[in-house]
């Protein structure tokens, strides 16, 4: 018997049964039932957030600190339960689910601290007797639209700074992962947020999300998701002259040079390409490998992939969980077929796997003999699929790494200080890793990319302030 999870609008839990979410490790397991908001609820939520903004934006740091700290503490205290529920609805492993939950707690803790460090600047005017103050204020009603692949961390890294800097929120999570979204909102609500400051509207992107894009009362939108939807967010936001921030896809390169430590390179590639079932925008999908190490690298990858345990996300032994749903599984399989048609050779995996329960299990796939011009090298697959591109030397590796419409993360495995330093400076990505996987970032430093991957100011750390505040310059003549 599942309990109906409702939407939170103006401090009230509202709504009727609308949709269910399914465990991708076992499609017979219904995780929960959720109210589905429509355009009317979206409008109510936006109006509530608008009405709550004046008081919340003027609330003192202590009030904001208290809510964010309490939220962090409860998430941390319940990390195993919330992490398990996350793994159950999204399909990432238990360890990944708990790790992501801890991350969310850390993010709330970080921004709780930031509320006590808000500051401005005071400078003399060029005019005698005049003082100039520069302060930051919340921007207003922030629309937060999130994807399914980090069901608790991404909402946390948008909601926490939005609240810390005095904004009110309409939050629309992805349809596949409402439980994690509901949990975080429930915790924040009970932590003492005034009514209307945070509103949850679960429902279809094309309906609820679109209603947010179309509302002149949503003053800023932070979006993470696909390039296609990101472009809609951008176009609608320009129409309303609103601030917007987009985090979209990646086609992240991991360069492996002849002088790399082979063990480190394989660890980085397996983690970056396949952990979280490859469903990370920071995943390494292009493995760009120089000639001298290529064959040893491919052999070592095959050995390692063969030993990976793929199975039920809730089984503690599992290292790679299922793909999130049928649509994503079909996309992964379609790209595996495309890679073969394009002439790449499947060196490992790519088959559907049967397990004890009906689920979306896919064997990690590794292509070799691919070129950077192939579709599997240019389009984001968002699954456990990677391809090796063989190159002559470092210069060719760098050129191939940068030859992509995306620019989120990049990585290099090398023992050469010269090449590592050159790569850090010349890689056209927002985040660069040396002897580390392209995925896996800290929570207190900026996150974001270049080119087709991101638009607008960075997320996370102190840089988050850029998006969630607007600057005011005030002049005073004291007489």
CB of 387 to ligand ADP, least distance (A): 21
Question: Which residues are CB-contacts of 45 (< 8 A; sequence separation ≥ 6)?
Answer: 7, 9, 10, 37, 170, 199, 200, 201
Residue closer to ligand ADP, measured from CB, 173 or 196: 173
Contacts from 340-346 at CB under 8 Å and sequence distance 24+? Answer: 342/370, 342/374, 342/375, 342/376, 343/369, 343/374, 344/368, 344/369, 344/370, 344/374, 344/376, 344/387, 345/369
Catalytic residue, candidates 90, 281, 380, 459: 281
Q: What is the rounded CA–CA span in Å between residue 409 and residue 253?
A: 8
Give the shortest CB-375-to-ligand ADP separation in angstroms: 17
Q: Which residue among the candidates 74, 89, 100, 247 is catalytic per the annotation?
A: 247
Q: Which is nearer to ligand ADP, 41 or 312 (CB)?
A: 41
3 state SS of 200: strand
Any catalytic annotation for residue 268? no
- Other CB atoms within a 10 A radius of the CB of residue 73 amount to 16
What residues have CB less than 8 Å from 3, skipping those under 6 apart?
Answer: 32, 33
Rounded least distance, CB 225 to ligand ADP, Å: 3
The distance of closest approach from Cβ of residue 271 to ligand ADP in the complex, given in angstroms and rounded to an integer, is 21
| Residues of the shown chain interacting with ligand ADP in the complex, contacts defined by CB under 6 A | 145-147, 172, 174-175, 205-206, 209-210, 213, 225-226, 229, 232
Give whichever of 82 and 154 is closer to ligand ADP, judged by the CB atom.
154
Residue 169: which residues within 8 A CB-CB, separation 6 or more? Answer: 49, 141, 142, 143, 144, 159, 162, 163, 197, 198, 199
Q: Tell the smallest beta-carbon distance from residue 245 to ligand ADP (Å).
A: 13
For ligand ADP, give the closer residue by CB, 233 or 412: 233
Retrieve residue 200's tokens.
């949850």
What is the nearest approach in angstroms of ligand ADP to the Cβ of residue 230? 7
Nearer to ligand ADP, 145 or 391 (CB): 145
Nearest to 154 by CA among 36, 276, 2: 276
What the block records as the tokens of 321 is 């969980």
Active site includes 291?
no
For residue 307, the number of C-alpha atoms closer than 13 Å in the C-beta half-sphere is 8
Beta strands in 323-449 (DSSP E): 345-348, 365-370, 385-391, 406-407, 409-413, 431-434
- Catalytically active residues are 247, 281
């Amino acid at each position: 018997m599942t309990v109906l999870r409702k939407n939170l609008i103006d401090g009230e839990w509202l709504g009727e049964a609308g949709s269910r979410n399914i465990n991708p490790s076992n499609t017979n397991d219904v995780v929960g039932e959720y109210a589905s908001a429509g355009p009317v609820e979206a409008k109510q939520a936006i109006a509530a957030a608008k009405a709550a903004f004046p008081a919340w934006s003027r609330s003192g740091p202590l009030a904001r600190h208290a809510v964010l700290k309490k939220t962090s503490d409860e998430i941390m205290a319940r990390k195993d339960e919330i992490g398990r529920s996350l793994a159950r609805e999204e399909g990432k492993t238990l360890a990944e689910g708990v790790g992501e939950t801890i991350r969310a707690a850390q993010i709330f803790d970080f921004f709780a601290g930031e509320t006590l460090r808000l500051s401005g600047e005071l400078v003399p005017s060029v005019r005698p007797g005049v003082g100039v103050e520069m302060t930051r204020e919340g921007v207003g009603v922030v629309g937060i639209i999130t994807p399914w692949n980090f069901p608790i961390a991404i909402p946390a890294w948008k909601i926490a700074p939005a609240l810390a800097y005095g904004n009110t929120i309409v939050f629309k999570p992805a349809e596949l992962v409402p439980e994690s979204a509901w949990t975080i909102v429930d915790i924040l609500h009970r932590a003492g947020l005034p009514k209307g400051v945070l509103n949850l509207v679960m429902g279809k992107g094309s309906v609820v999300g679109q209603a947010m894009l179309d509302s002149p009362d949503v003053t800023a939108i932070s979006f993470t998701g696909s390039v296609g939807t990101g472009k809609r967010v951008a176009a609608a936001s320009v129409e309303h002259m609103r601030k917007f921030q987009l985090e979209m896809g990646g086609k992240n390169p991991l360069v492996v040079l002849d002088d790399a430590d082979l063990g480190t390179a394989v660890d980085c590639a397996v983690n970056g390409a396949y952990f979280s079932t490859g469903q990370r925008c920071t995943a390494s999908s292009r493995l760009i490998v120089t000639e001298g190490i290529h064959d040893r690298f491919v052999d070592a990858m095959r050995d390692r992939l063969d030993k990976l345990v793929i199975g039920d996300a809730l089984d503690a032994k599992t290292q790679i969980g299922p793909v999130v749903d049928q649509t994503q599984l079909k996309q992964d399989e379609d790209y595996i077929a495309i890679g073969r048609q394009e002439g790449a050779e499947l060196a490992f995996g790519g088959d559907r796997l049967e397990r004890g329960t009906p689920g979306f299990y896919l064997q990690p796939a590794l292509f070799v003999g691919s070129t950077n011009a192939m579709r599997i090298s240019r389009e984001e697959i968002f699954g456990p699929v990677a391809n090796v591109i063989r190159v002559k030397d470092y210069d060719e590796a760098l050129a191939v790494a940068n030859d992509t419409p995306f620019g989120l993360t990049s990585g290099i495995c090398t023992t050469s200080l010269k090449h590592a330093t050159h790569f850090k400076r010349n890689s056209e990505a927002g985040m660069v890793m040396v002897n580390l996987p392209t995925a896996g970032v800290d929570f207190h430093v900026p996150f974001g990319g270049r080119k087709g991957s991101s638009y607008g100011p960075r997320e996370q750390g102190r840089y988050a302030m850029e998006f969630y505040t607007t600057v005011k310059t005030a002049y005073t003549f004291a007489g």
